[in-house]
Amino acid sequence: MKPCPETFPYPLIALDETDSTNRYISQLCNELQESVAELTTVTAEFQSAGKGQRGNTWEADKGKNLLFSFVLYPTFLEARRQFILSQIVSLSIKEELDRWSDEITIKWPNDIYWRDKKICGILIENDLSGHFIGRSISGIGININQDEFHRDAPNPVSLKQITGQEHDRYEILSHILKRVQIYYNGLQTEDGSTYTAEIAARYARSLFRRRGFHPYEDADGRFSARLLRVEQDGRFVLEDENGKEREYLFKEVQYIV
């Protein structure tokens, strides 16, 4: 990244290289406890072992993209409500990328897509404290200025490929974090339950393939189904062509892209 602007609105640790920004900020929090302020963010120009969902790694040319992690301490949230964090993070990124395209969607639970191509991956790691969430670290990779992809990932795309222009990564990052903060503050208001319902509605409207029948695959094989809803705890509910409801937890069903 170019030198961080002095006016960057959140505590920022900008690294040239690390194995994983999630691991870095997790170790920092373990050492310094809650003296690491909420929304403290670690960025890296390159990750040697960036983690993704299903144990995948995230391909990113050095200095081209956004690779970052940030911390929250949502001790007001019961563990059973932790999916709301996934919703606000994915919505914050989706709504920022909406500035450049009206074809940005959220692929359940929290990948960000442009058309049928993946532009962003999110890995959220929550530490529980009794029945509540003590700490939440969101690790995010967004393809910003990469010109081409070299590995055999099936469907990556970058913002530059979509728009044909270079983008200011720090500006995008600061806007995303501001959006996260607005959503996060809203969860802590007296009207939090109404706000949670509004977040769920926005998330539902943003979902990838939210209309029509599409191919999926579970432990029993491939099938065609349409999206019915996503439950508050994150369960994914489909209806197949026979009218049967199928309910899944994370990793129990895959989109066929």
Residue 240: beta bridge partners? Answer: 225
Cβ–Cβ under 8 Å, residues 1 and 169: yes
Residue 67 near residue 52 (C-beta atoms within 8 A): no
pLDDT of 63 = 87
Q: Is the pTM value of this prediction over 0.75?
A: yes
pLDDT in tens, 82-133: 999 999 999 999 999 999 999 999 999 999 999 999 999 999 999 999 999 9
Residue of 64, 159, 141 whose CA lies nearest to 103: 159
> For position 160, what pLDDT does the model report?
98
- pLDDT of 1 reads 45
pLDDT number for residue 193: 81
CA angle (106 as vertex; 103, 111 as ends), nearest 5: 120
Residue ranges of the chain with per-residue pLDDT less than 70 = 1-6, 49-60, 151-153
Cis before 109 (ω within 30): yes
Per residue in 204-218, pLDDT (tens digit) is 999 999 999 999 999
